[in-house]
Amino acid sequence: MYEQVSHSLLNRILNDMKPDFHKRDLRHFYTRLGANFYAIHSLFEKLYGNVPDFEEYMLRLVEVLAKNYLDRPYDLQEIDITREEDHNWFLHQQWVGMALYLDGFAGNLQGLKEKIPYFQELGINLVHIMPILKSPAGKSDGGYAVSDFREINKQAGTLDDIRELAAAFRKHGILLTLDVVLNHTSSQHKWAEKTRQGDLQYQDYFFIFEDRNLPDMFEQAMPEVFPDTDPGNFTWDESIQGWVMTVFHDYQWDLNYSNPKVFLEMLDVILFWGNQGADIVRLDAVAFLWKELGTSCQNRPEAHLLLQLFKDCCQVTAPGLLFIAEAIVAPLEVIKYFGEDAVVAKECEIAYNATFMALLWEATATHNCKLLAHAIKSLPGKLDRATWLNYVRCHDDIGFGFDDEDIKNAGYDPGEHRRFLMKYLTGEFEGSYAGGQPFAFNEKNGDARVSGTLASLAGLEYAMAQQDVQEVDFAVRRILLLHSLIFSFGGIPLLYYGDEVGTFNDFSYLEDENRADDSRWMHRPRLNWETLARRDEPGTPEYTIFQELRKMIAIRKEIDAFADFNNRELVDMDNDHLFAFLRSSHPRYHQHPVEPIFVLANFDRHPQAADLKALSAYGFGDSRSLLDLFTGRPPHCFRNELILSPYQFCWLKNGVA
Ligand code: GLC
Ligand code: GLC
């Protein structure tokens, strides 16, 4: 019955559509629209069914889809079809990414194109350019305060440069990822400007309240993202004479998605960037999309409906375009951004694995893997056709958002353990080598997060300053160990620019008044290509880190079991310093079995023994037939034990003659 209603509506919409749509070859469009219309209509109705003129908005939605389909370049439409046919293409182990700030890495888009050989040298074939959409010159949260969703900053280049870069990347098999900041605009965006000028239609794009009643009620349940620099979630605006909801910085105005116009505008923006050649869009701060009084305003069911709707719409116009969810939330919440109650991903195909990232740092600080293993085990399985973005560092801070129950199960007190991690990573704990700095300290509850580059957090900066050869070696090993895990765990590894040569903290941001209060800038470096040239000078840490990572990437790409087909099993080694898992065939995915790989990682600064008996249950018990694919040699065994040196990892293959 319902389906019939939506079909007759669809027919009406198609009749009402502007005549020039009918003159074009819309075959694929109609097929995909027919296949997805029922879902799109029900989601749209769930969200906006009680808005007057609902059907008018529905018509406009289909027009946005059709217009963007017509604008979609022919070569991208071809790619759509290939990807629809090979719909698991992004789960393959060949993909290895890097996130970078354009100005700090290559200056501008032209410069980035010239760096293609560098990506190829390292083995990078997915590049995430941090936001370059037009943003104000002063404070802009590193570009996450967008003042025009269809323009890019002049210093970055032009739209032609983007399209040219996308084409050059495509030619070399590199995927382009761009940011779409869905949750908020800059206070200088024209919608905000119009609101300030009294245009009522734009007022409804945001949350604006004339007095403190509603803001005060909201505040009771809403946490603060930047409590030290931007306390509270509302900002008084003089010209409006009202309180504007600003969850992040006071110059970032939250968009009001209960207004269908906002949804349609942002859908148009996503499809626009897909049409400029983005293979993937990173959807920023998706957990925050829906605001509801009396709640934390994060992870609301409607935020999930919105993402499903964005996805289903994309399936009609640009099915080859993937979504990355940036949802840095509790472990059990993150996984929902793939979609719930669905076999395949219904929201975002890819999600930041913030849980794994934070756990890796926890294991590094404690030198043991109790919490890491517990927390990973208590996560539910993820959907098919969905994959993690595994990373060690990114442009943001590290937060300790583990589940309290997991911390307790690992034998720690949650509050105390978080305080210990904070002290350890900021070098305040006796014996710690880490050079992080606190970020977003909250006076009210004592919460804090950590900034710092990988190399500084892993102790390389400290060891170099001490000229301690042994500690330099350990720090380099820690850097490699952490990467070995994001390469083997299952998912797309995302390196952070500069980490491939062990870049240290950079405090020059303190001299810039627009950045000085945000310690995340210490790990957003301007790369020095003369230092990077040391990657070819044996004996330097730059050389060791770069060349070993390069080797790891090349080997990862050859290991079929590392593709992410939900084919990982954690193995308890009865030694808390060790983290171990098996990557093997998955009955549903692998018609031909893949060669199983046993991953072992030692988080301790002392050698550790792995009992071969524990490995024998998985067929890896015979030391004479094991080979470590990373070193290309048999692992070091003594009697019934496999010996791992400090911070060593192995990618073991079995059955060597
Ligand atoms: C995302 C970005 C972060 C930014 C925030 C607000 O979480 O990663 O850098 O501050 O959104 O846009
Ligand atoms: C919080 C937010 C995340 C944001 C980060 C910036 O973790 O959940 O979206 O990127 O803060 O520090």
Check residue 9 and give its pLDDT: 82
- In the chain, how long is the greatest CA-to-CA distance? 80
Least confident of 125-129, 264-268, 380-384, 644-648: 380-384
517: annotated active-site residue: no
The highest-level CATH class for domain 564-653 is mainly beta
76-89: string of b/e by CB count within 10 Å (b at 16+)? Answer: bbebbeebeeeeee
Check residue 4 and give its pLDDT: 66
Check residue 262 and give its pLDDT: 98
pLDDT digits (tens, 9 = 90+) for 166-220: 999 999 999 999 999 999 999 999 999 999 999 989 999 999 999 999 999 999 9
For residues 136 and 145, is the Cβ–Cβ distance under 8 A?
A: yes
Taking the C-alpha atoms of residue 79 and residue 69, their distance in angstroms, rounded to an integer, is 13
- Quick one: average pLDDT of 161-167? 98
**Which pLDDT band holds residue 491 (cuts at 50, 70, 90)?**
very high
- Quick one: average pLDDT of 513-529? 97
Of all residues in the chain, the percent with pLDDT exceeding 70 is 98
- pLDDT surpasses 90 at 22: no
pLDDT digits (tens, 9 = 90+) for 557-579: 999 999 999 999 999 999 999 99
Ligand 1 atom nearest 145 alpha carbon: 12
**Which pLDDT band holds residue 6 (cuts at 50, 70, 90)?**
confident
Check residue 590 and give its pLDDT: 84
144 CA to centre of ligand 1 in angstroms: 6
pLDDT digits (tens, 9 = 90+) for 93-133: 999 999 999 999 999 999 999 999 999 999 999 999 999 99
- Residue among 128, 130, 140, 141 whose CB has most ligand 1 atoms within 8 A, to mutate: 141
Check residue 8 and give its pLDDT: 81
Check residue 21 and give its pLDDT: 67
Contacts of residue 631, Cβ cutoff 8 Å, sequence gap at least 6: 650
pLDDT digits (tens, 9 = 90+) for 29-75: 999 999 999 999 999 999 999 999 999 999 999 999 999 999 999 99
Query: Looking at residue 88, what DSSP letter applies?
Result: T
User: What is the per-residue DSSP string for 162-213?
Assistant: HHHHHHHHHHTT-EEEEEE--SEEETTSHHHHHHHTT-HHHHTTB-EESSSH
327 CA to centre of ligand 2 in angstroms: 8
- pLDDT surpasses 80 at 1: no
284: annotated active-site residue: yes
101 CA to centre of ligand 2 in angstroms: 18
- pLDDT surpasses 70 at 165: yes
For the domain spanning 184-254, the CATH number is 3.90.400.10
Give alpha helix (H) positions in 378-510. Answer: 404-409, 414-425, 454-457, 460-466, 469-488
Check residue 50 and give its pLDDT: 96
pLDDT digits (tens, 9 = 90+) for 403-425: 999 999 999 999 999 999 999 99
**Which pLDDT band holds residue 5 (cuts at 50, 70, 90)?**
low
- pLDDT surpasses 80 at 341: no
Check residue 403 and give its pLDDT: 94
Q: Is 438 in the pocket of ligand 2 (CB under 6 A)?
A: no
For residues 595 and 561, is the Cβ–Cβ distance under 8 A?
A: yes
**Which pLDDT band holds residue 23 (cuts at 50, 70, 90)?**
low
Taking the C-alpha atoms of residue 620 and residue 622, their distance in angstroms, rounded to an integer, is 6
- pLDDT surpasses 60 at 618: yes
502 CA to centre of ligand 2 in angstroms: 24
Domain at 353-558, CATH homologous superfamily: Glycosidases (3.20.20.80)
Of all residues in the chain, the percent with pLDDT exceeding 90 is 91
- pLDDT surpasses 90 at 259: yes
Check residue 44 and give its pLDDT: 97
> Using CA positions, which residue lies closest to atom 1 of ligand 2?
225
Contacts of residue 553, Cβ cutoff 8 Å, sequence gap at least 6: 96, 122, 123, 124, 487
Q: Is 448 in the pocket of ligand 2 (CB under 6 A)?
A: no
pLDDT digits (tens, 9 = 90+) for 444-458: 888 899 999 999 999
For residues 547 and 535, is the Cβ–Cβ distance under 8 A?
A: yes
Which one from 179, 326, 349, 518 is the annotated catalytic residue? 326
> Where do the structural domains in the chain lie, given as residue ranges?
184-254, 353-558, 564-653
Contacts of residue 401, Cβ cutoff 8 Å, sequence gap at least 6: 328, 329, 330, 331, 354, 355, 358
Q: Bigger pLDDT: 443 or 631?
A: 631
Q: Is 404 in the pocket of ligand 2 (CB under 6 A)?
A: no
- pLDDT surpasses 70 at 505: yes
Ligand 1 atom nearest 184 alpha carbon: 12
Which one from 141, 179, 268, 284 is the annotated catalytic residue? 284
For residue 175, which of 323, 326, 280 has the smallest C-alpha distance?
280
- Quick one: average pLDDT of 477-504? 98
Q: CB 183: neighbour CB atoms within 10 A?
A: 24
Q: Is the pTM of this model over 0.85?
A: yes
Q: Is 652 in the pocket of ligand 2 (CB under 6 A)?
A: no
- Residue among 247, 298, 389, 397 whose CB has most ligand 2 atoms within 8 A, to mutate: 397
Mean pLDDT of the chain: 95
- pLDDT surpasses 90 at 153: yes
